[in-house]
């Protein structure tokens, strides 16, 4: 019995050695130990991304000397996951996983069979003792008992045969491991001075810089509007909802204002998720009622048109007080020059990458849309532009990067039809369709932080993503 047990011990020892080697050595060879150290912290990384990942466009800003820094199109995650070496590493990783699974099966089977062998060892010692005590003579009854006991040992032979087969499997697995080690060493040598993890860190650092470039260069010309994303159906046919365009990314509060005139109640939801569920909100009661739906939240304050006046009100949420209010000179109000849908939409406030704007109309401008840049602290008009576009023919309007975009209708079939460029005081007619899913838009506003359009569409709160075309001029270009 001692020989089979020694074999069993040898098998278990070999398996433990190979399993331990694989668990400690292979991950470090292929860079699969799961963490990348960076500036004293550990961050999870995934070496091989799924092929379904899309591509993202990153465009750089200008350097201080006016030169274009870079323009690159890269995958959303690791570019290393697309090269030939990565495919080989993926295949090797699959082999490692197969080897690991085989080792796990062997370990479980060995543990089970070892328990069986140990129980049989007790039985064999008992039989050996009885045979020695019989001293050459056995009664018929004793012989039958020994025969029955011996039959219990018959499965032991198949267990020992399985051990022999497992030993051959382990030898094969050890050969596979040696082949994997040689392949990995060759790949590492071919990759040069930097290990795979080093290259991964460099790619991640590059991606971070490209993301920073994209944030610096947020502006561009509108070329497309996505399909609508319905967030919630809540409230009446007319209203507005928004987030703070100047808040940090961690601040996802949502403000909700139902109705288009005489309203005073503003609901502040803690997060977008809370807004969707209708929970975790507080109520602000404005000291003066609003008119229209062209409100905007900017840097912790609500900017809105006071009902039955051309007064702009700046209401601070934290202090629950009006910080400043001022009339817009000559601005029409009380449905004098609304959008095509009416609703006291004479004055529309907007925020884009460059600051606070007011869109309205005066008698002096014969009902055409006026765009004014406002000082957010004093509400004074910094500069105004006469776009020449009749406001009553506009469905809604929004600002992106100093460009006023106007829709030709608030109903189904609407599209972005007109664009006015404040930097050049020029305009052009456009043809950018968007899907008006619920057929009656009473609020349309751009959020530069999220680069999305917020809309109130027939009692539905809806988002649209936008596509912007970036043009970078290098030094010396016109």
Which 3 state secondary structure label does DSSP give 49? coil
Q: Are 289 and 303 in contact (CB under 8 A)?
A: no
What's the pLDDT score for residue 62? Answer: 40
Q: Are 231 and 464 in contact (CB under 8 A)?
A: no
Q: Are 114 and 8 in contact (CB under 8 A)?
A: yes
The Cα 31–Cα 402 span in angstroms is: 48
The Cα 307–Cα 263 span in angstroms is: 9
Distances (CA, A) of 149 to 122, 132, 136, 439: 12, 16, 18, 87
The sheet that has 368-374: what strands, in order across it?
Answer: 348-352, 355-360, 368-374, 381-390
Average pLDDT (48-64) is 37
Residue-wise pLDDT for 366-391, tens only, equals 999 999 999 999 999 999 999 999 99
Average pLDDT (390-404) is 96
Q: Between residues 238 and 72, which one has the greater pLDDT? A: 238
Q: Are 317 and 310 in contact (CB under 8 A)?
A: no
Q: Quote the radius of gyration of the chain (alpha carbons, Å).
A: 37
Local confidence band at 356 (pLDDT 50, 70, 90 cut-offs): very high
Burial of 191 (0-12, 13-18, 19+ CB in 10 A): middle
Average pLDDT (322-331) is 96
Average pLDDT (453-478) is 77
Is residue 450 pLDDT above 70, yes or no?
yes
What's the pLDDT score for residue 125? Answer: 73
Which 3 state secondary structure label does DSSP give 11? helix
Q: Are 351 and 360 in contact (CB under 8 A)?
A: no
How many percent of the chain have pLDDT more than 90? 48
Local confidence band at 10 (pLDDT 50, 70, 90 cut-offs): very low
φ, ψ for residue 9, nearest 5 deg: -60, -40
Q: Model pTM?
A: 0.58
Q: Between residues 151 and 286, which one has the greater pLDDT? A: 286
CA atoms within 13 A on the CB side of 61: 12
Backbone conformation region of residue 417, classed left if phi is above 0, alpha if psi is from -120 to 50, else beta: alpha
Average pLDDT (86-109) is 69
The Cα 467–Cα 56 span in angstroms is: 12
Q: Between residues 170 and 454, which one has the greater pLDDT? A: 454
What's the pLDDT score for residue 312? Answer: 98
Q: Between residues 351 and 137, which one has the greater pLDDT? A: 351
Residue-wise pLDDT for 293-310, tens only, equals 999 999 999 999 999 999
Local confidence band at 348 (pLDDT 50, 70, 90 cut-offs): very high
Q: Between residues 260 and 94, which one has the greater pLDDT? A: 260
What's the pLDDT score for residue 477? Answer: 41
378-384 long-range contacts, CB within 8 A, separation 24+: 378/324, 378/326, 379/312, 379/314, 379/324, 379/325, 379/326, 380/326, 381/328, 381/329
Is residue 69 pLDDT above 50, yes or no?
no
What's the pLDDT score for residue 20? Answer: 41
Q: How many residues does the chain have?
A: 478
Is residue 60 pLDDT above 70, yes or no?
no
Local confidence band at 40 (pLDDT 50, 70, 90 cut-offs): very low
Q: Between residues 27 and 421, which one has the greater pLDDT? A: 421
Residue-wise pLDDT for 424-440, tens only, equals 999 999 999 989 999 99
Q: Are 418 and 429 in contact (CB under 8 A)?
A: yes
Is residue 128 pLDDT above 90, yes or no?
no
CA 296 to chain centre: 26
Residue 401 CB: number of other CB atoms within 10 A? 18
Q: Between residues 277 and 66, which one has the greater pLDDT? A: 277
What's the pLDDT score for residue 47? Answer: 27
Angle between helices 154-191 and 84-134 (to 10 degrees): 160
Average pLDDT (73-85) is 46
Is residue 471 pLDDT above 70, yes or no?
no
Which H helix or E strand runs over 298? strand 290-298
Burial of 237 (0-12, 13-18, 19+ CB in 10 A): middle
What's the pLDDT score for residue 182? Answer: 73
Structure tokens at 175: 């050969």
User: What CATH class has 217-469?
Assistant: mainly beta
Distances (CA, A) of 321 to 104, 287, 367: 68, 8, 33
Is residue 258 pLDDT above 70, yes or no?
yes
What's the pLDDT score for residue 304? Answer: 98
Is residue 134 pLDDT above 70, yes or no?
no
H and E: helices and strands count for the chain: 6, 25
Q: Are 244 and 318 in contact (CB under 8 A)?
A: no
Report which DSSP code applies to 91: H
Q: Are 397 and 422 in contact (CB under 8 A)?
A: no
Residue-wise pLDDT for 228-256, tens only, equals 999 999 999 999 999 998 988 889 999 99
Task: Of 18-27, 46-55, 130-139, 329-338, give the range with the top mean pLDDT.
Answer: 329-338
Local confidence band at 92 (pLDDT 50, 70, 90 cut-offs): confident
Local confidence band at 284 (pLDDT 50, 70, 90 cut-offs): very high
Burial of 445 (0-12, 13-18, 19+ CB in 10 A): buried
Report which DSSP code applies to 269: E
Looking at every residue in the chain, the average pLDDT score rounds to: 76
Structure tokens at 8: 């069993």
The Cα 403–Cα 410 span in angstroms is: 20
What's the pLDDT score for residue 145? Answer: 73
Q: Are 312 and 295 in contact (CB under 8 A)?
A: no
Residue 96 CB: number of other CB atoms within 10 A? 20
């Amino acid at each position: 019995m001692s020989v089979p047990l020694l074999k069993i011990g040898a098998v278990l020892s070999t398996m433990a050695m190979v399993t331990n080697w694989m668990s400690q050595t292979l991950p470090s060879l292929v860079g699969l130990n799961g963490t990348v150290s960076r500036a004293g912290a550990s961050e999870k990384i995934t070496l091989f991304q799924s092929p379904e990942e899309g591509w993202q466009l990153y465009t750089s800003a200008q350097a201080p000397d006016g030169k274009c820094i870079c323009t690159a199109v890269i995958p959303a995650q690791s570019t290393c996951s697309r090269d030939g070496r990565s495919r080989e590493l993926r295949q090797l990783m699959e082999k490692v996983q197969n080897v690991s699974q085989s080792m796990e099966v062997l370990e479980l089977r060995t543990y089970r069979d070892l328990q069986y062998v140990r129980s049989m060892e007790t039985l064999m010692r008992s039989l050996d003792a009885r045979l020695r005590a019989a001293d050459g003579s056995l009664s018929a009854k004793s012989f039958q008992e020994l025969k029955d006991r011996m039959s219990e040992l018959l499965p032991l032979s198949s267990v020992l045969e399985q051990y022999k087969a497992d030993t051959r499997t382990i030898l094969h697995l050890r050969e596979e491991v040696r082949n994997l080690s040689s392949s990995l060493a060759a790949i590492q040598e071919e990759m040069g001075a930097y290990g795979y993890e080093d290259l991964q860190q460099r790619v991640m650092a590059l991606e971070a810089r490209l993301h920073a470039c994209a944030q610096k260069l947020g502006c561009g010309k509108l070329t497309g509007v996505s399909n609508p994303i319905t967030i919630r159906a809540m409230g009446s046919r007319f209203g507005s909802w928004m987030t703070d365009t100047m808040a940090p990314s961690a601040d996802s509060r949502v403000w909700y204002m139902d109705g288009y005139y005489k309203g005073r109640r503003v609901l502040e939801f803690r997060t977008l998720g809370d807004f969707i569920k209708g929970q975790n909100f507080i109520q602000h009661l404005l000291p003066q009622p609003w008119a229209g739906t062209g409100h905007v939240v900017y840097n912790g304050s609500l900017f809105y048109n006071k009902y039955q006046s051309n007064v702009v009100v700046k209401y601070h949420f934290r202090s629950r007080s009006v910080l400043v209010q001022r009339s817009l000179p000559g601005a029409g109000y009380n449905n004098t020059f609304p959008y095509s849908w009416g609703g006291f939409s004479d004055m529309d406030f907007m925020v884009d990458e460059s600051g606070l704007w007011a869109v309205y109309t005066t008698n002096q401008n014969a009902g055409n849309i006026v765009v004014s840049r406002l000082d957010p602290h004093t509400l004074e008009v910094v500069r105004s532009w006469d776009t020449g576009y009749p406001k009553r023919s506009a469905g809604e309007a929004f600002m992106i990067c100093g460009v006023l975009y106007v829709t030709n209708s608030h109903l189904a079939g609407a599209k972005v039809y007109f664009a006015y460029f404040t930097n050049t005081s020029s305009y052009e007619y456009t043809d950018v369709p968007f899907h008006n899913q619920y057929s009656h838009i009473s609020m349309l506003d751009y959020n530069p932080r999220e680069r999305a359009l917020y809309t109130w569409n027939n009692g539905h709160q809806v988002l649209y993503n936008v596509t912007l075309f970036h043009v970078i001029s290098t030094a010396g270009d016109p």
